[in-house]
Amino acid sequence: MTPQTAELAVDVRQLRKRYGGVTAVDGIDLTIRTGEVFGLLGPNGAGKSTTVEILQGNRSRDGGEVTVLGADPGSAGRAWRSRVGIVWQDESAPAELTVRETVRHFAHYYPKPRDPDRVIELVGLEKKANARIKALSGGQRRRLDVALGVIGDPELLLLDEPTTGFDPAARHRFWELIRMLAAEGTTILLTTHYLQEAEALAQRLAVIASGRVVAEGTPAELRDRHGSHATVEWTEPDGTPRSERTDTPTRTVAELARRFDGEIPGLRVGRPTLEDVYLRLTGQDQESAR
């Protein structure tokens, strides 16, 4: 193992997976540094969940090399699994147990678990600790899934659409939990459809479409590289609002400043958002325009 690979929690080279005649993952390369929060974005069916399942060791691959926490997840043993936490899209907790019973039960699976009551508090379920799971709302059940993902104090946490069903307050509380875990050194891989969430949490992002990585970088880098234009808006002397889409907004503003001899009425410069870039990279901007 080289010093460079030793710094990687996840190292994926040319990962491939097929289901019958359908290629779900088509040669993905990914590197996630130890302690990094990494976001994996893509539309439904792009290959995100399959990739996460392979990294967790829950699904075999058809090709490529995968190293997670220094081991191949396809052959790693129980001790390795205790170092990886995961929050699946589907609920996994037994309905008849209470929240506290469930979290305490799952804590026994790990050699050095977090304190169950503290974890319940972190996900905002302290008032529901004695409630049976079947009596929880969908969002509360999702918070319990997050609790079960972090109870083992994992080195690597895999989050597959973790905040689906959360209300805004619960989502922001979850964000604070992720920031706390990241500050403690936990490596986190997050898949999400919420672009605001990805931008708020992830240091780097990869966008996948049709089983391939089509772009990778920080949120700012993705906007700079793949944002096709900016929009400059201003108001003419007669009060008419005007706008221009341009790849050179600074030049456009300079030309307007000369024309208006200084201050430009109603000036606004809008840059492409991460959502704009994501839709363009995945081809969904063309679909919405039809």
What domains can be seen in the chain, in order of their start residue?
A: 3-83+154-220 (3.40.50.300), 224-289 (no CATH)
The Cα diameter of the chain in Å comes to: 73
Amino acid, single-letter form, for residue 4? Q
Averaged over 257-286, what is the pLDDT? Answer: 85
pLDDT tens digits for range 49-100:
999 999 999 999 999 999 999 999 999 999 999 999 999 877 667 788 999 9
Question: How many CB atoms lie under 10 A from the CB of residue 217?
Answer: 15
Dihedral (Cα; 255, 258, 264, 268), 10-degree rounding: 20
Phi, psi of 114 (to 5 degrees): -75, 165
pLDDT tens digits for range 176-234:
999 999 999 999 999 998 899 999 999 999 999 999 999 999 998 898 888 767 889 99
Confidence of residue 289 (pLDDT cuts 50, 70, 90): very low
Question: How far from 99 is each of 24, 116, 181, 256, CA to CA, in Å?
Answer: 36, 10, 21, 62
Closest to 39 in 3D by CA, of 228, 200, 154, 251: 200
Q: 0.75 cut: is pTM over it?
A: yes
